[in-house]
């Protein structure tokens, strides 16, 4: 079980800010910005590189939930960044697809 599966199962506490039948969103415990939220599908997809055509609706929902959470946290006007890491060279540390929502500070480009 990944740490995200344990959070979904309520075996590990998290500061949850959104949840429905498909997706959960919670504050990152090691934030890289003043606002750093993880948007995670409840169904495990190990990484974006392993997503399939049948995951299309869920992948779209992750982005829409991230946008909703950004609005709820007051980041829509100033802006925010969504990041999906896929594989070890990208910085993936948990093999469970998730979207990082980062904001409430200026984010440089290019990243990394």
Distance CA 48, CA 55 (A): 10
Contacts of 20 by beta carbon, 8 Å cutoff, 6+ apart: none
User: Which sequence positions are flagged as catalytic?
Assistant: 98
Distance CA 103, CA 48 (A): 22
Q: What stretches of 35-74 show up as alpha helix (H) in DSSP?
A: 56-72
């Amino acid at each position: 079980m990944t740490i995200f599966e344990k959070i979904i199962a309520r075996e590990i506490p998290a500061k949850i800010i959104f949840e429905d039948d498909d997706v959960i969103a919670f504050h990152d415990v090691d934030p890289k910005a003043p606002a750093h939220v993880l948007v995670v599908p409840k169904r495990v997809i190990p990484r974006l590189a392993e997503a399939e055509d049948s995951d299309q609706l869920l992948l779209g929902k992750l982005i829409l939930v991230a946008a909703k959470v950004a609005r709820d946290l007051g980041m829509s006007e100033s802006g925010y960044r969504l990041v999906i890491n896929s594989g070890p060279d990208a910085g993936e540390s948990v093999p469970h697809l998730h979207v990082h929502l980062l904001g409430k500070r200026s984010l440089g480009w290019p990243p990394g």
